[in-house]
Structures are given as C-alpha cells and as structure tokens.
Structure 1
Amino acid sequence: MSTSSLILFNKPYGVQSQFRDDSNNAHSTLAPYFTDKSLRVAGRLDATSEGLLILTNDGRVNKAITHPPKANAGHKQGKTYLVQVEGSPTSKQLSELQKGVMLKDGKTLPAEVKHVAEDELPMSLWQRDPPIRERKSVPDSWLMLTIYEGKNRQVRRMTAHVGLPCLRLIRWSVAGFELGHLAVGEFVRIHLNSERCQQLGIRD
C-alpha cells in the first residue's frame, strides 16, 4: 500500500474551513496557513469552533474520515469535542445526549458524553479571542462529547436541545487522531502506515 499522509491543524476561532472567501463575512480563511493547493479539508469545522482540523490531498483518506459508516465499510470514525456549556449538567441531561436527541433533521445517533472539570481536560486551554461571554449568576461546565455522524452544527444543537447552551466548542479528536499539544494556528504532518490505513478502512 502506498504511503498516505495528512495534516493535523489547530484551527483558530474565526477561521473558516476553506481556502477561498466566498461569503464576504468577517471570518478569515485557511489561505494564510497553507501554500499547498492540493490540500482538501476532511471534515469541516465551523468558523466559531476551534481545534482539530484535518487536511489531506489523498481522496481515500478524505472519504474514510468524512463519509458515514455505511459508506465506509462499517468503520465508525468518532469525533470528540470539548464543550463548554452554560449551566451544570444533570444525569438526565447527560443520559439524553448519550441516547440521542431529536433535532429538526432527525434523531442523533447514541453519543458518548461525560462531565469533566476543567483540570481534567486532556489539554491545556488557550485564551480565546474574543473571550466567551460570562454570567456571574450562571455557572459553566465542560463536557467531553463523542459523536459518530456529522449533522450541521450538531454538537451545539444537541447541548442546546437538553438545556445546556454551548459557550465554547473545541474539537479534540477525529478518527483516532488527537489535537495533542499543537498551539493555535500550528500544524503537523502525519504519515500513515499500512496498519493505520486499514484501521481507517482504506484499501489499495
């Protein structure tokens, strides 16, 4: 099997997951960070979300990461998010997220979720610019939430549905690849061996 590679990028807040600005809004693009015109985004991340963005010039890798399980030989590629929410989650709210919630475009698949303290997060947080809104009368909490699908703005809609508005959203991992200690705006290139390609469902 030929060697494939991908790029792990810590996308800053306010950066669109595209190279060309065709929306005429205030958000910047990926163009200042990459000169390789062959790269494509494997799984978009909203401009107002932060964290792990994967780019690759290998169509097989892109498909393995972005397509639903049925289109990818049954390989479920989970995405884990660190979600700062307004309020303190109850066991009922966590259970609803785990079982799946009914959104306008259908019920979400069962998710993995746990309530964690900020010092239990798998990474050190950076200061976001602009900072999140704070309400002294309302506490905020962190969740680690793993989903196995990609509905539009899914995590934000899921937490809002159970009464936990999202304040900050950071993607920590995609298909087993983690953000690690990448600083905001930094990236690293990962070379995939045959075993890792097989785990992703990629075949020659």
Structure 2
Amino acid sequence: MAAEDAVAAQQSAVGRLAERRDRLVAELAEAQDVSVELAEQRQTALERRAELRRQRAAARAFERRQERAEEEAAQQQAEPEPAPEPEPEPQPAPEPVSQDPRDIAWSMMASYGWASQTEFDCLDALYISESNWDPLAVNPSSGAYGIPQSLPAEKMAAAGDDWRTNPVTQLEWGLAYIQERYGTPCSAWSFKQANNWY
C-alpha cells in the first residue's frame, strides 16, 4: 500500500510540474508575441518618420526649384534700361558658409557620385537615427561618437585632427566609410534598418 501511495504522489507531482511547464511555455509565447509586436510598431514608426523626412525634403526642394524658376522668369521679363556708368562699389562680404551638417553633407555627396535627392534622403534618415546630425553625440552604451557614430571614435582622426568637433571632418570620414563599406547611403540605410547598426 505504501508503494501505491508513493507512486500516486509521484504521479501527482509530475502532473503539477507538467501543468506549471505548460503555463510557463504559454507565458513565454505571449511575451514573445508582445516583443515582436513592439518591434513591428517601432519599425513602422521609424518608417513613418523617414517617409515624413523624405516628403519634407522633397517639398523643400520643390519650393527651391519654384523660387528659382520665378526668379528666372522675372529676370527674363525685365528689360534692361541703359544705366549710367556705375561708380565702383565696395564688394559685399561673402555670404557665410552654412554650418548645418545636412547642407555640408549635401554639398559633399556629389564628389562620391551621390548627387540624387534619394541618396540624400537615405543619408538623412541614417544620420538622424544614429546621432540626429549632432557632431558631439555619444552613444552611452557603446561609446560611438559624432554624426556618423564612429566606433571607436578615434577612427575619424584619419580624416583630420579636429574630428571631435568639426562636422566637415566627421562627414568626410562618414561618407568615405559608407562608400567603402556599402557603396551608397541607401545601401547603408537598408542595412541599418535590417540590423539596427551599420
């Protein structure tokens, strides 16, 4: 009788363990579903932000083209009047060069063969996701630094001694890195979206 009781107790314990295992497996599956759903929501939000940036950039480019077309039309319509011989005037000071890293990057891209708005939009999305174009950005967990989030940060010294603060130096290094490793900003952005690093 004692043996039967021991067997029954053992079977009962095995049954309880099986029920507990089933509950834990179900909870794990539910947690994984939530994790996948959150990752999908994050990816969707990133894609929406990138699309909004592309739309804004396209709208800015369209506005610039419209303004240029209007200026050209106005110049063509205006008839030149004979003007008296002008007195020499002092030359105006040159307009300051833009300090916006986006403008700097746009001006540098043609030298890499990437003169399209599409490639710039990919670069814009990539650097927004990495550093929000901040030349002083530091990733607290990895130590990646600057606009391109160079890791280690000192790699950018190959582009110039002022790599810690100069967006031009950082962009020279970052664009060369993209060209060497991925070929184009859009290829780098695709890799980043798939792997969450580039």
Is the TM-score greater than 0.5? Answer: no
> Which structure has more strand as a fraction of its residues?
1
- Alignment TM-score, normalising by the size of structure 1: 0.26
Higher relative contact order (CA 8 A, sep 6+): 1
- Alignment TM-score, normalising by the size of structure 2: 0.27
